[in-house]
Chains A and B, each alone.
Chain A
């Protein structure tokens, strides 16, 4: 059973470009969580989604950030007009039902130049 998959693993964008991060949850998991990790910091919650629904986006900046988890395909975290402060590792986690342990992917390391 494959684990949580994220791609790309590394992403370099210039300021003002768009970044798209993809997360494929574990088979049978329908809940996806996105977290951001800054250097020397713990993970900060961004958004929690179920298939076709955003359950909690309280940790996601209101501007430039959006997330989706369509009926078919991976969950996508989209960052428009990236700035240097967006440079971080972005992790997604999945769980089969809300409250069961969250399993994390390997992360996408975004560098904004």
Chain B
């Protein structure tokens, strides 16, 4: 049972464009939703995270939008840059607990 579904699997965006990655979850007990960025050969790095008491969180060019009723959340990368090319994972956890990850989105930002 895949508790966190992520789409698309891969994404190509032109430099300066907006990258959008979506995730849907099943477990209504989840209450912490982070996004991780992973470069080849490296470990995941926490990018931004949100809790369900807010509908949006913005940090620089990165924004999480959260829809509790639809059980969906998304990552928006504004003004995408070639250096943003990486694999992005959404995740969710219940309370102070272990993370359940989506399968990842491979983002390529073309120059």
Binding site for B on A (CB under 8 A): 4, 6, 33, 35, 40-45, 48, 56, 59, 91, 97-107
Which residues of chain A are near B95, meaning CB under 8 Å?
Answer: 99
A42-B104, A43-B89, A101-B34 are contacts. A91–B43 as well, Cβ < 8 Å? Answer: yes
- Are A45 and B42 touching (Cβ within 8 A)? no
Partner of B89, one of A42, A100, A101: A42
Say yes or no for B45: interface residue by CB 8 A criterion. yes
- Mask of B86-104 contacts with A, CB within 8 angstroms, 1/0: 0001000001111111111
Q: How far is the CA of A106 from the CA of B38 in the complex (A)?
A: 10
Total A-B residue pairs with C-beta atoms closer than 8 Å? 55
- Are A102 and B46 touching (Cβ within 8 A)? yes
Q: How far is the CA of A3 from the CA of B72 in the complex (A)?
A: 32
Which residues of chain A are near B101, meaning CB under 8 Å?
Answer: 35, 42-44
Which residues of chain A are near B20, meaning CB under 8 Å?
Answer: none
Which residues of chain A are near B16, meaning CB under 8 Å?
Answer: none
Q: Which residue of A lies closest to B4 (CB)?
A: A42
